[in-house]
Structure 1
Amino acid sequence: MIFRSECKDLPTPSTPFSETLLDALWKYGKKIALIDAETGQKVSNHDLYIQSLSVASFLEQKHFRHGDVACAVMHNCLEYFPLFLGVALQGGALSTASYSFTEYELEYQFKDSGSKMVFCNSVNFEKVFKAAHKCPKITCIVVVPDHKSEMNPLPFGVVQFADVLDCQPKLNGHKVDVDIKRDILILPYSSGTTGSPKGVMLTHTNMACEADILGTHLLDEVMKKIDPSYTYESDHDILFLPIYHIYGFCVLMANIVYGLTTVVMSHFNLELYCKTIESYKARLLKLVPPVLVLLSKDPLIDRYDLSSVQAMLSGAAPAGRELCEDVMKRLPNVLVVGQAYGMTELTAASHALYYDARDLKFGSSGKLVSNMEMRIIDPQTGKDLERNQRGEVCLRGGTVMVGYLNRPQATAQTIDDEGWLHTGDVGYVDDDGYTFIVDRLKELIKVKGYQVPPAELEDLLLTHPSIKDCAVIGVPDEASGEIPMAFVVRKDEAVNEKEVMDFVKERVSHYKQLKGGVQFIREIPKSPSGKILRRFLRDEAELIKKTVAKSKL
């Protein structure tokens, strides 16, 4: 059976999302759009309008044209938005990369995305420059200064953001012929249901649908049910979610479209987060499970007045009933702590919390948002299942990606001929229409909401001269949800755990490191077809955990 959203359908976008954003900036004018949480610097919608046009003019001078790709390697900052919109106005796409990526990871994304230009903060310029130097297609790097670090003299051809803003904006706009259903607007990277990171092609239509859905849903189905007089214009959103991640990116876009002032944190810091909530009296928080854990347990919370907060939306990873209840006990003014469900391939969320004071449905991922359809299918037969039957979650709607960049086979394995995106997650729908995600078919490890594909780490480990074979799994961790653990077959018995862990640490981001440890075994369990049997390795990891626990008694 096909499950459909209970919410009203929203109109299908008919204009480029870049024009929607310009219209919003013009509409809200002198209202403050962005505030730096650390410095207090404020930028109005009018300021962003002019800055975005200046960026577009600069890009035009650099021959950045329709269909080109720029890559942003930046932590959250006020400059992120005008750089993105400038790219969009030129008909280009922005590929978002983690600022914690290593030179090795950046080189991969630069080359795979075909990036022509790179934006970065001064604090990570050195590794960006080294990676870009290996990518002949990159013609320009734009550096945004960090208020905490000094700007060293830049190499020839590298441009400071201040010089970009000196370009004369075209106040009549940049009119580029855009196919809103096919032209790529955003190119984040995801591992999909398996394999190495792939560029997720998200269009103007995808992003416009998601921003409209997110903004409308949280207003109508959550905040106005709590307080009918609530308006976005009177509230502030505290954004610590990384903008390079699809969750944070979509939150920022929806905030701009709906006139909600965003207080931007460059990195998460609990004390600054609490101080900012108190100062701006934020009413709706968008966060992730590790932050919920801090809000439920950390004694620092008691030093701040967080009584303004009425609702919390948690995403990127599961949050259990007990955790949600603990937060509400700690902060009694909070009326609902609910979850959303989504993935990069869905332009963020397909499900979100609904506020119902009678039943908060802790542990669920909420209900379908507007314009979305869902099937629960038997993974073996592909047949539709009914309510309360567990199967693979498949979704269809205007936010489903066009596909993976230059990977038609991976695209075909994920999106079927009828447009259904197969998520690789196992779930069911209860009698009230709430979706519960209970397991996953896919092999991804989720570390604090970040995707860690085992195949990526396995490919890296196999480049070590003393490693014959390997497999990586996720093991449970209270702070991170899961952490990667490697099982290794040695060529050379002299290689030890520390050497293997250091080898990986030097080449990948912090959340991909083997914090679950390394176990040496004689053989990796595999099926006759050669597929790694990870369930046996998970059993082995659980046995090791119990053995270690007993030895400490």
Structure 2
Amino acid sequence: MSVLSVGGVVTTTNPLCSADELIRYLSSSDATWVICAPDCVEKIQEAVAHVTRVKGIFVMGNESVGGCTLFTKLIGDDGSAFPSDLKVNPKQDVAALLFSSGTTGPPKGVMLTHYNVIASVHLQSVPGFLKFESGVDIIPAIIPFFHVAGLVGVLSLGLKQGIRLITLPKFEPETFLRTIQEYKATRILTVPPLVFFLANHPLVDRYDLSSVSDIICGGAPTGPAIIKAVRKRLGQSNIPVREVFGMTELSSLTTIVTTDEEFEIGSVGTLLPNTTAKVIDLETGKTLGVGKEGEICFRGPQVMKGYRNNIEETRKMISEDGWLRTGDIGFYNEKGHFYVVDRLKDLIKYKAYQVAPTELENLILSMPGVKEVAVIGLPHDEAGELPKAFVVPKSDNIKPEDVMKFVEGKVIPQKKLRGGVEFVDEIPKSASGKILRRVLKARK
């Protein structure tokens, strides 16, 4: 926030990034200063050695590490360093340079202006959406602040509304559950993997989570089976598990299931104020009506300025009249509730048919012995692609052939798992909880 107040640009990175990844991020952003935790210093210094624009590294804490300057030196200023002639153009000047999740390729630098961020926070703060009560609501901040959901949808939103945030450096099962119990957290803003955790992990039964009255989840479809499971696990049959839709390119959110509407499992909600949407035909680009599946597009004050130094990709993403193409396939019903069916680039093309991986994933997740699953298209000379499932089993009581037979008995022929079923220890995901299908396709 201090950087923004003096007209600077903030860019964030995952502390788990490798030195090579940091080199790419620092170079792409033209970063001049780095602020980090002590345990990241060695890796950052290795990266900075290959980046010419970085002037220095500030480290958090009370002791200097690797010769870096202590961050406390910055906050010790008496205010005289603040510029007296600061001029910021809210709609043009970039406030945050974040990087897309990279589910379909290398991350791209997303330019969010001051106007984008301010608009996003205000639109989410409307009653019924993410309007919280100061002095009452307590939220464990488990979504990483280097991600748009954490930076805008948790940190900025929380500061603006004056609610209590309990920051957690990383997810540790017992620490997360103990935080909810001890601080009596009222709402949880989270991603699908943590909803899976609440629904399945045996540790959950050892903690009192009765203070939680609202769960907001985004990043990827959660699925009806998981929502029902977490409700049962928490002993609250009516607790809302409100799904949202958003992207880095949309400064966080565009839709959310509101608190005052009838809860529809599977819906990502209705539009935020001052936000418009349309669904277009995948082939013709023609606008479709109620109940028709196509690519979802949004227009509003939260649409990014563009990708940094990438005019071509920006033009592909945003039309001349301001419509942002999400690359997500879905529809809306007569009540204005939106549903996301799948990612456009993740569609499996089997012969002349299109198969949605998420549909198969939700089906497989309904099996008692399945913990997590991801479905990809396996290249095939004759058919084009064959659906293949990577499954994380809950126990040894389930076999790959059991999954094959289960799916075969519930789907039309083109949706059968002709590419097979492979058991794995974990499903690769981005920090926001999205399945990294490209990683699975690379290991095939």
TM-score band, normalised by shorter chain: 0.7 to 0.9
Alignment match of 1:363 (pick from 263, 266, 269) = 266
Q: Distance in 2 between matches of 1:222 and 1:395?
A: 18
Give 2:295's aligned residue.
392
- The answer as to 2:256 corresponding to 1:352 is yes
Q: Structure 1 residues 134 and 173, CA, compared in 2 at 3 Å: closer, same or farther?
A: closer
Q: Structure 1 residues 441 and 174, CA, compared in 2 at 3 Å: closer, same or farther?
A: farther
Give 1:545's aligned residue.
420
Q: Distance in 2 between matches of 1:547 and 1:212?
A: 45
Indicate if the aligned counterparts of 1:193 and 1:443 stay in contact, CA closer than 8 A: no
Equivalences for residues 224-373 of structure 1 within 5 A: 231-250=133-152, 251-333=154-236, 335-356=239-260, 359-373=262-276
Give secondary structure in 1 for the equivalent of 2:128.
Answer: helix
- The answer as to 2:40 corresponding to 1:124 is yes
Q: Structure 1 residues 534 and 339, CA, compared in 2 at 3 Å: closer, same or farther?
A: farther
Give 1:90's aligned residue.
6
**CA offsets per residue over residues 112-170 of structure 1, 9 Å max, x none?**
11111111111111111100111011001111139xxxx56423xx2111222222224
Q: Structure 1 residues 313 and 153, CA, compared in 2 at 3 Å: closer, same or farther?
A: closer
Indicate if the aligned counterparts of 2:388 and 2:421 stay in contact, CA closer than 8 A: no
Give secondary structure in 1 for the equivalent of 2:341.
Answer: strand
Q: Structure 1 residues 222 and 348, CA, compared in 2 at 3 Å: closer, same or farther?
A: closer
Alignment match of 1:380 (pick from 274, 283, 286) = 283
Give secondary structure in 2 for the equivalent of 1:438.
Answer: strand
Q: Distance in 1 between matches of 2:101 and 2:140?
A: 28
Give 1:536's aligned residue.
385
Q: Distance in 1 between matches of 2:9 and 2:313?
A: 21
Q: Distance in 2 between matches of 1:223 and 1:185?
A: 22
**CA offsets per residue over residues 259-305 of structure 1, 9 Å max, x none?**
01111000012211121112222211101111111111222122221
Q: Structure 1 residues 378 and 295, CA, compared in 2 at 3 Å: closer, same or farther?
A: same
Q: Distance in 1 between matches of 2:386 and 2:35?
A: 41
**CA offsets per residue over residues 348-390 of structure 1, 9 Å max, x none?**
1111111257x31001111111111000000110101000000
Alignment match of 2:89 (pick from 147, 172, 179) = 179
**CA offsets per residue over residues 2-48 of structure 1, 9 Å max, x none?**
xxxxxxxxxxxxxxxxxxxxxxxxxxxxxxxxxxxxxxxxxxxxxxx
- The answer as to 2:66 corresponding to 1:154 is yes
Indicate if the aligned counterparts of 2:6 and 2:83 stay in contact, CA closer than 8 A: no
Q: Distance in 1 between matches of 2:218 and 2:373?
A: 13
Q: Distance in 1 between matches of 2:308 and 2:73?
A: 32
Q: Distance in 2 between matches of 1:223 and 1:117?
A: 33
Indicate if the aligned counterparts of 1:201 and 1:403 stay in contact, CA closer than 8 A: yes
Give secondary structure in 1 for the equivalent of 2:35.
Answer: strand
Q: Structure 1 residues 414 and 480, CA, compared in 2 at 3 Å: closer, same or farther?
A: farther
Q: Structure 1 residues 302 and 420, CA, compared in 2 at 3 Å: closer, same or farther?
A: same
**CA offsets per residue over residues 64-88 of structure 1, 9 Å max, x none?**
xxxxxxxxxxxxxxxxxxxxx1211
Q: Distance in 2 between matches of 1:481 and 1:421?
A: 30
Give secondary structure in 2 for the equivalent of 1:145.
Answer: coil
For residue 299 of structure 1, what is the amino acid of its counterpart?
Answer: P
For residue 59 of structure 2, what is the amino acid of its counterpart?
Answer: V
- The answer as to 2:307 corresponding to 1:404 is yes
Q: Distance in 2 between matches of 1:154 and 1:214?
A: 41
Q: Structure 1 residues 483 and 96, CA, compared in 2 at 3 Å: closer, same or farther?
A: farther
Give 2:322's aligned residue.
419
Q: Structure 1 residues 142 and 525, CA, compared in 2 at 3 Å: closer, same or farther?
A: farther
Q: Distance in 2 between matches of 1:233 and 1:192?
A: 37
Q: Structure 1 residues 272 and 545, CA, compared in 2 at 3 Å: closer, same or farther?
A: same
Q: State the 1:98 CA deviation.
A: 0.8
Indicate if the aligned counterparts of 2:41 and 2:66 stay in contact, CA closer than 8 A: no
Gaps of 5+ in 2: 349-356, 391-416, 425-444
Q: Structure 1 residues 401 and 295, CA, compared in 2 at 3 Å: closer, same or farther?
A: same
Give 1:470's aligned residue.
none
Q: Distance in 1 between matches of 2:182 and 2:26?
A: 39
Q: Distance in 2 between matches of 1:266 and 1:145?
A: 14
Please state which structure has a larger fraction of its residues in helix.
1
**CA offsets per residue over residues 313-356 of structure 1, 9 Å max, x none?**
00111101121111112223462111000100001111111125
TM-score (norm 1): 0.63
Q: Distance in 2 between matches of 1:427 and 1:87?
A: 38
Q: State the 1:190 CA deviation.
A: 1.1
TM-score (norm 2): 0.78
Indicate if the aligned counterparts of 2:9 and 2:96 stay in contact, CA closer than 8 A: yes
**CA offsets per residue over residues 165-190 of structure 1, 9 Å max, x none?**
22222498865200100100000111
**CA offsets per residue over residues 455-513 of structure 1, 9 Å max, x none?**
xxxxxxxxxxxxxxxxxx9996966654999x8xxxxxxxxxxxxxxxxxxxxxxxxxx
Indicate if the aligned counterparts of 2:133 and 2:161 stay in contact, CA closer than 8 A: no
Indicate if the aligned counterparts of 1:89 and 1:174 stay in contact, CA closer than 8 A: no
Higher relative contact order (CA 8 A, sep 6+): 1
Q: State the 1:222 CA deviation.
A: 5.5
Report the aligned-residue RMSD.
Answer: 3.1
Q: Structure 1 residues 268 and 534, CA, compared in 2 at 3 Å: closer, same or farther?
A: farther
Give secondary structure in 1 for the equivalent of 2:267.
Answer: coil
Q: What percentage of aligned pairs have identical amino acids?
A: 31
Give 2:432's aligned residue.
none
Give 1:454's aligned residue.
none
- The answer as to 2:60 corresponding to 1:144 is yes
Deviates more, 1:414-423 or 1:164-173: 164-173
Q: Structure 1 residues 269 and 416, CA, compared in 2 at 3 Å: closer, same or farther?
A: same
Q: Distance in 2 between matches of 1:293 and 1:300?
A: 13
Give 2:438's aligned residue.
none
Q: State the 1:548 CA deviation.
A: 7.9
Aligned residues: 380
Equivalences for residues 456-535 of structure 1 within 5 A: 482=374
Indicate if the aligned counterparts of 2:213 and 2:239 stay in contact, CA closer than 8 A: yes
Q: Distance in 2 between matches of 1:153 and 1:307?
A: 43
